[in-house]
C-alpha cells in the first residue's frame, strides 16, 4: 500500500485554464472547461481516482482533510471505521472521496446562490467529466431546513461496523455547528488534536452487544490514528480538530445564507406559502447572530490541531493594513479571534441580493459598534467588535460603502 507521503509524488498532473476570479461557480466553470478540452484532470490511481487533481483544480487544500467513518453518503458500502471517507474544503466547495469509491463527490455554492452537487466517476477515461448529482443528494441534504438544502456535519451514535444508530424517524441527522456544545459533537468522525478537558464523541463506536453508549474517554485528545486504521493510503494522516471545527462553523453560516437566499427568491412546493417579510427578518437576525458568534459554544480548554491547517487557513484570506484578518484563530476561549465570520467573504454571501446584504451590514454595524445593547450581544468584547468592524471596512468594499452611509454625520 502506498504511504500518504509517497502518494503525493505520484499524483497525475492537472492542467487548467487561468482561473477566472469572476466565475460565479468554479465547479461549473471547470466542468465546461473539461467538456471543451480546455482543462484536463489526471487520475492518481485506483484508490482515489481523480480526487487529487480535483483538489488542485478547485484550490481545495489537502490540509483541510477530515475523516468520517459513519455510513452516511452515496457510497455507504465503502465507508467504515477502517476506511473512513475523506473530506476536503475551502470557503465555498467541499470535495469528498472514499478508498476505491465509484465517484468523487463535490458540493459547492452554485451560481444561483443555492447548494449544488456534482460527481466525477473514478474509473479511468480519456476525458473525465463532472456530472450534476443534485436530485440524488437532496434526499438527505434537503432535510437541513424547509427552505433550502444544506451541508451536514452530524453527530451519531455509531455501531461497530460504522452504521449510525437512528433513534428518531422525524430527524435523521443531529446536525452540529458552532453553537453545539462540544459533548454533543462528532459521533462518527475521527478527530485528531489536543483539547484538554473538553469532551466530544469522536473516534469511538458502540461495542457489539452494548446496551449503553460508547465510552467516549478513549476518543479524547487523540493525536495519532494509526492504531485505529491504516492511515497510509490517505493524502494526510490526520482528521484535524481545528479543520473540523472550521468546517462545522462554515456549514452553520452557509446553511443560513442559503436559507435566506431561498426565502427571497425561490417558492416552496405547490400549496406551501412563500416566505413572509417576518420569515426573512427572522433569518437575517439569526444569520447576524451566527456571524458574530453570539451563541457560539465557548471553549473551556485550549484547542490545538496536529496538521498544517491552522497556518494555511489563516494565510488564505484578506488582511487589513495592520495585518489582521477574520480568519485568525483564537482557540483558547472561542474558535476565531475576532467576532465576525470569514464566511462574509464567501461566494454564497456575495450572491445575496444587494438589498439583503445592506440589511445584514446595517445590523452588523449596530452590533459591532455597540449600538445594539441587547443581552444576546453583551458577551462580545468591545475591543474585538471594533477590530472586526475595522477589518471588514478595510477588506470588503461594499460593506465600507454601507458603513460610510450609516455613520455619516447628518447635514446641518
Q: What would the grid cell of residue 217 be?
A: 474517554
For residues 28-38, give the mean pLDDT: 92
- 95: pLDDT strictly greater than 60: yes
Q: Where are the domains of the chain?
A: 241-407
For residues 292-300, give the mean pLDDT: 96
Q: Which of 94, 74, 87 lies closest to 136 in space, CA to CA?
A: 74
Question: Side-chain half-sphere of 207: how many Cα atoms within 13 Å?
Answer: 7
* 164-203 pLDDT tens trace: 886 555 556 778 899 999 999 999 999 999 999 999 999 9
Q: Output the pLDDT for position 231.
A: 97
For residues 94-114, give the mean pLDDT: 90
Question: Side-chain half-sphere of 195: how many Cα atoms within 13 Å?
Answer: 27
Q: How far is 265 from 343, CA to CA, in rounded Å?
A: 21
For residues 298-317, give the mean pLDDT: 96
* 324-345 pLDDT tens trace: 999 999 999 999 999 999 999 9
CB distance 297 to 179 below 8 Å? yes
- Residue 14 pLDDT class (50, 70, 90 cuts): very low
CB distance 192 to 222 below 8 Å? yes
More confidently predicted of 320 and 159: 320
- R_g of the chain computed on alpha carbons: 21
- Residue 221 pLDDT class (50, 70, 90 cuts): very high
* Sequence-ordered alpha helix ranges (H) in 128-220: 134-141
Q: How far is 198 from 301, CA to CA, in rounded Å?
A: 6
User: Could you tell me the pTM of the whole model?
Assistant: 0.90
Q: Which of 220, 40, 227 lies closest to 129 in space, CA to CA?
A: 40
Q: Could you give the percent of the chain with pLDDT greater than 70?
A: 85
More confidently predicted of 262 and 4: 262
Task: Report the run of H or E that residue 1 belongs to, with start and end.
Answer: none
Q: Output the pLDDT for position 19.
A: 39
Q: How far is 116 from 130, CA to CA, in rounded Å?
A: 12
- Strand, coil or helix: 394: helix
- Residue 173 gets which letter from DSSP? -
Task: Report the run of H or E that residue 412 belongs to, with start and end.
Answer: none
Phi-psi region of 322 (alpha: psi -120 to 50; beta: other; left: phi over 0): alpha
The greatest distance separating any two alpha carbons of the chain, rounded to the nearest whole angstrom, comes to: 78
C-alpha distances (whole Å) from 136 to each of 74, 227, 348 are 8, 35, 22
More confidently predicted of 307 and 402: 307
Q: Output the pLDDT for position 226.
A: 97
- Residue 274 pLDDT class (50, 70, 90 cuts): confident
* 45-60 pLDDT tens trace: 889 999 999 999 999 9
Helix axes 277-291, 241-265, angle to 10 degrees: 160
* 332-391 pLDDT tens trace: 999 999 999 999 999 999 999 999 999 999 999 999 999 999 999 999 999 999 999 999
CB distance 364 to 288 below 8 Å? yes
Residue that has been written with the C-alpha cell 468592524 in this structure = 389
- Residue 271 pLDDT class (50, 70, 90 cuts): low
Q: Output the pLDDT for position 164.
A: 80
CB distance 41 to 214 below 8 Å? no
CB distance 172 to 140 below 8 Å? yes
Q: Could you give the percent of the chain with pLDDT greater than 90?
A: 66
- 62: pLDDT strictly greater than 90: yes
- Residue 9 pLDDT class (50, 70, 90 cuts): very low
- 5: pLDDT strictly greater than 80: no
Amino acid at each position: 500500500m502506498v504511504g500518504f507521503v509517497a502518494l503525493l509524488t505520484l499524483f497525475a498532473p492537472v492542467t487548467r485554464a487561468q482561473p477566472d476570479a469572476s466565475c460565479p461557480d468554479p465547479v461549473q466553470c471547470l466542468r465546461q472547461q473539461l467538456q471543451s478540452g480546455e482543462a484536463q484532470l489526471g487520475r492518481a490511481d485506483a484508490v482515489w481516482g481523480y480526487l487529487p487533481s480535483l483538489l488542485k483544480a478547485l484550490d481545495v487544500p489537502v490540509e483541510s482533510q477530515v475523516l468520517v467513518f459513519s455510513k452516511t453518503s452515496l457510497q455507504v458500502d465503502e465507508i467504515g471505521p477502517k476506511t473512513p471517507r475523506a473530506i476536503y474544503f475551502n470557503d465555498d466547495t467541499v470535495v469528498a472521496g472514499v478508498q476505491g469509491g465509484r465517484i468523487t463527490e463535490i458540493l459547492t455554492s452554485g451560481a444561483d446562490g443555492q447548494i449544488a452537487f456534482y460527481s466525477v466517476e473514478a474509473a479511468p477515461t480519456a476525458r473525465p467529466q463532472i456530472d450534476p448529482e443534485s436530485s440524488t443528494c437532496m434526499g438527505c441534504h434537503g432535510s437541513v431546513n424547509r427552505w433550502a438544502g444544506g451541508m451536514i456535519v452530524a453527530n451519531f451514535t455509531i455501531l461497530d461496523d460504522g452504521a449510525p444508530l437512528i433513534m428518531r424517524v422525524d430527524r435523521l441527522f443531529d446536525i452540529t455547528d458552532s453553537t453545539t456544545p462540544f459533548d454533543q459533537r462528532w459521533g462518527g468522525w475521527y478527530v485528531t488534536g489536543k483539547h484538554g478537558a473538553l469532551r466530544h464523541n469522536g473516534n469511538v463506536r458502540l461495542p457489539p452487544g452494548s446496551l449503553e453508549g460508547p465510552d467516549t474517554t478513549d476518543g479524547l485528545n487523540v493525536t495519532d490514528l494509526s492504531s485505529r486504521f491504516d492511515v497510509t493510503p490517505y493524502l494526510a494522516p490526520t482528521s484535524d480538530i481545528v479543520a473540523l471545527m472550521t468546517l462545522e462553523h462554515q456549514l452553520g453560516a452557509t446553511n443560513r445564507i442559503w436559507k435566506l437566499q431561498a426565502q427571497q427568491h425561490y417558492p416552496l412546493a405547490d400549496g406551501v406559502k412563500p416566505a413572509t417579510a417576518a420569515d426573512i427578518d427572522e433569518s437575517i437576525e439569526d444569520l447576524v447572530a451566527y456571524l458574530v458568534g453570539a451563541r457560539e459554544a465557548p471553549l473551556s480548554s485550549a484547542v490545538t490541531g496536529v496538521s498544517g491547517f491552522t497556518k494555511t487557513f489563516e494565510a488564505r484570506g484578506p488582511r487589513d493594513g495592520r495585518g489582521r484578518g477574520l480568519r485568525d484563530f483564537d482557540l483558547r476561549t472561542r474558535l476565531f479571534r475576532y467576532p465576525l465570520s470569514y464566511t462574509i467573504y464567501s461566494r454564497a454571501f456575495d450572491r445575496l441580493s444587494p438589498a439583503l446584504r445592506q440589511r445584514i451590514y446595517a445590523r452588523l454595524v449596530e452590533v459591532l459598534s455597540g449600538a445594539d445593547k441587547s443581552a444576546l450581544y453583551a458577551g462580545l468584547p468591545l475591543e474585538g467588535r471594533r477590530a472586526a468592524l475595522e477589518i471588514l471596512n478595510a477588506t470588503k468594499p461594499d460593506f465600507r460603502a454601507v458603513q460610510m452611509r450609516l455613520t455619516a454625520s447628518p447635514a446641518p
